[in-house]
Structure formats: C-alpha cells, structure tokens
Amino acid sequence: QLAGLAVIAFGLWLRFGGVMADFASDKRSPEYFFMGLYVLVGTGALMTTVGFFGCCGAARESQCLIGSFFACLLVIFAAEVTAGVFAFIGKKVAIQEAQKIYEDVYDDYMKNPVGKVNSTIYHYHSALQCCGKGNTEQQMGLPCPENIQKASNCLVEIQNIVDANLHLVGIVGIAIAGTTIFGMIFSMVLCCAIRNTRDMI
C-alpha cells in the first residue's frame, strides 16, 4: 500500500509539479510522455487497492483472497513490464513531441512577437533555463530569462529533461517490479502455509 501511494505521488509530481508540467497547455501537451505517467499513477492506485485486500486475506487467513492477491500482482507485474518497454521504445517520440511544442511556440512568436505568445515563450525559457534554438542570431530579440549567464539550446534542454524524467520513471518501475515479485513470493508461501496448517488440523 505504501509503495502504491509513493508511486501515485511520484507520478502526480512529474505530471503537475515537475518541469514537464510546463508543457501541458490548454491546446497541446506531450501525450506520449504523459500517457506513461497516467499508466504509472493507475498502477500505483491498483497496488494500493490490491495491498488492502492482501492485508485482509492475510489477517483472515483466506486462501481465496491471497490467491486473488497473487493474481492481481501478476497482472500489475505484466503492466509494469509493458509500460517499461513502452517507455523505452517511445522515448524518441516523447522527445520529438515536446520539441515540436516548443518549435510551434517559437514560430508563433517570430510571426507575432507581442501579447500572449510573448509570455508563453518566456514561460518556457524560464522553466527550461534556455533561450532559442542555439545560435546567437536566433536568440536575438527573444524574451530570455535575465538570471542565466549563457543561454543554452532549448531543444537540447528539452531532450535532456525528457530523458532524465524517463530514467526516473524507469527506476521507479524497476523498484515496483521488485516489490511485486517479493509480494508474489510471500503470498504463495503464506497460501501454502495456510493450506498445510489446515491439512494438519
């Protein structure tokens, strides 16, 4: 249950509190990346629910509940492996989606460097601590943050941030998979112990 709550908190933080949350606008967001976060949050919610039923099964010494607990853990483990493969294969697509969102905002600003577009591109620059697409000519006239000494390429920063966040998701996924395996092992041991005790009685 605690692991499930931790996973939910981690997924919600990446979605709403991390740097990637700045890419979630009213119109567009990197759907491929956020899809993985939604799977992570859903897995955490399922783990919390399953953990509760596992505790009930252990307390009541119910083979049926513990068997159901094992089956649910097996489904969660399969979902984790699928999500891990999905994240590994889709990393390039997620980076391209996030870069495309910035490039669209950049192009809109170049066409009309006033009003709402101006504040939007400055919001991205502040969040990523970058300015423009790299060279000095492209940085001239852009609303860059005042507190950065050397403006870096925003496309490179986006790639680094998405890559780092996906690595975090991968580490959490591996930790959950390990917890799930131990949960399956202990549930089967407990189930066998209950069966042996009842046979002896």
Which of the two residues, 57 and 23, has the higher pLDDT score? 57
The whole-model pTM stands at 0.68
| Predicted local confidence at residue 26, as pLDDT | 47
- Identify the band that residue 190 occupies on the pLDDT scale cut at 50, 70 and 90: confident
- What is the Cα–Cα distance from 11 to 85, expressed in whole angstroms? 18
Which of the two residues, 201 and 147, has the higher pLDDT score? 147
Range 10-15 average pLDDT: 77
Pair of tokens at residue 86 = 């999905």
Range 73-79 average pLDDT: 81
Asked if the model's pLDDT at residue 186 lies above 80, the reply is yes
88 burial (CB, 10 Å; 0-12 / 13-18 / 19+) is: exposed
Averaged pLDDT of the chain: 75
- What is the Cα–Cα distance from 74 to 184, expressed in whole angstroms? 7
What are the pLDDT digits (tens) for 128-180? 778 877 665 555 667 777 776 666 788 888 888 888 877 777 777 777 778 88
| Predicted local confidence at residue 115, as pLDDT | 62
Percent of the chain with pLDDT over 90: 0
What are the pLDDT digits (tens) for 34-63? 676 777 788 788 888 888 877 887 777 777
Domain boundaries, the chain: 1-60, 82-200
Q: Where are the beta strands (DSSP E) in the chain?
A: none
